[in-house]
Amino acid sequence: MDYDYNMQVFPAATENVTAWYRQREMAKEKFLLDELKVLDKACPHPLRWYRKNGRFYFWEWNGKTQKGITSNRDRIYTLARHDYLSLKYDALRDTNEALWCKRLKELLDSFLEIGLDIHRIIFTSEQYKWASKPQSQNKKRREDLIYETNGGVLMRSKSEQFIGNMLEELCIPYRYEPEMIFDHRVFHPDFVIMTIDGRLIILEHLGRMDLDIYIKSNIERLRAYNAEDMLVGRDVFLSFEADTRKRERVIRIIDRILAS
């Protein structure tokens, strides 16, 4: 079955991602600046739009005249990404967090209002392509997929649903139970996350540590990851049932993942 992550943005995203990103991506400032320098040359002016007869029309200033770009979706998203990164970079350089979070939220809200896909703006191009591309998923016990995240992904437990909602709320690209090969065997990690620099990180939620067979199975899984140089604490992270009872604990786990 193809991966069915719904790329829509739900309201909580723009309310939380701005403040969260400012704190968590200070270490990624150079990566952001490198992309911004490229976009500065390609996009010397911001994205502009107007509404007529219930439809939005997009344009940019080319230095002399207005140039309509409504039919050029790639250009629209390039300009929107530039506007977002420019504001985000200024926010990272300033100490007035509340002010810049407010401005970032207003910008994202305006993009939502005109019907743009926020993920395509916030994600890097590599992250967006990865998250959008269909991929084989775990086909076993499909009847157990009864807990749906806000983004439309069906999961097997309320705890996984909680983690999925947190990742979606913070606009972090992920896949649920994708098919992957480790140590010549097929595995389906609970969550695979792509970081801003393109690395894939596994997050396994260990929700049934009261069962011996479950513990044994996960030990074998971790050994297979280790055989492929996927190390716990660097490439593989773990969560437990107690973690999903408090939002702050899940945030800390995500923090460690993105800082790894």
What is residue 88's predicted lDDT score, i.e. its pLDDT?
83
Chain segment 85-120, per-residue pLDDT in tens: 998 888 777 777 778 778 888 999 999 999 999 999
Residue 1 lies in a domain: no
- The domain boundary residue, chosen from 87, 122, 157: 122
pLDDT range class, residue 60, cuts 50, 70, 90:
very high
Mean pLDDT of the residues in the chain: 85
Cα 122 from Cα 242, distance rounded (Å):
31
SS3 87: helix
Which residue segment(s) compose the domain that 217 sits in? 131-259
Residue 45 belongs to a domain: yes
Neighbouring residues of 182: CB distance < 8 A, sequence distance ≥ 6: 224, 225, 227, 228, 230
**In this predicted model, which residue has the larger pLDDT, 20 or 212?**
212
Domain check: are 114 and 154 in the same one?
Answer: no
Domain count, the chain: 2
- The domain spanning residue 140 has which CATH number? 3.40.1350
Report in angstroms the alpha-carbon separations of 14 from 30, 58, 171, 248.
Answer: 24, 22, 9, 19
Are 89 and 166 part of one and the same domain? no
How far apart, in Å, are the Cα atoms of 233 and each of 179, 204, 227, 230?
Answer: 22, 12, 15, 9
Residue 72 lies in a domain: yes
Shared-domain flag, residues 84 and 32: yes
**Quick one: 147 and 250 in the same domain?**
yes
Establish if 52 belongs to a structural domain.
yes
* DSSP output for 93-124: T-S-HHHHHHHHHHHHHHHHHTT--HHHHHS-
Nearest to 108 by CA among 132, 131, 87: 87
Q: Tell me, yes or no, whether 19 lies in a domain.
A: yes
Query: Does residue 160 share a domain with residue 43?
Result: no
pLDDT band at 48 (very low <50, low <70, confident <90, very high): very high
Same domain, 170 and 223: yes
Provide the pLDDT for residue 137. 80
- Model confidence over 168-208: pLDDT tens digits? 988 899 999 999 988 888 999 999 999 988 899 999 999 88
Q: How confident is the model at residue 56 (pLDDT cuts 50, 70, 90)?
A: very high
202 and 114 co-located in one domain: no
Q: Which of 70, 94, 122 is the last residue of a domain?
A: 122
| Residues 117 and 185 placed together within one structural domain of the fold | no
Q: What would the pLDDT profile of 202-232 be if each residue is shown by its tens digit?
A: 999 998 888 889 899 999 999 999 999 999 9
6 within some domain? no
Could you give the CA distance from residue 30 to residue 246 in angstroms, rounded to a whole number?
32
Instruction: Compute the distance between CA of residue 57 and CA of residue 61 in angstroms, rounded to an integer.
Output: 14
Which of these three, 122, 148, 168, is where a domain ends?
A: 122
Q: Are residues 60 and 90 in the same domain?
A: yes
Alpha-carbon distance of 76 to 82, in angstroms, equals 10
Most confident of 32-36, 74-78, 227-231: 74-78
Rounded Cα–Cα distance for residues 155 and 3 (Å):
12
According to DSSP H, which parts of the chain are helical? 12-24, 29-42, 73-92, 97-113, 118-122, 125-132, 158-169, 212-227, 247-259
pLDDT, position 10: 42
Question: Is 184 a member of any domain?
Answer: yes
Q: Would 142 be classed as within a structural domain?
A: yes
253 with 146, same domain?
A: yes
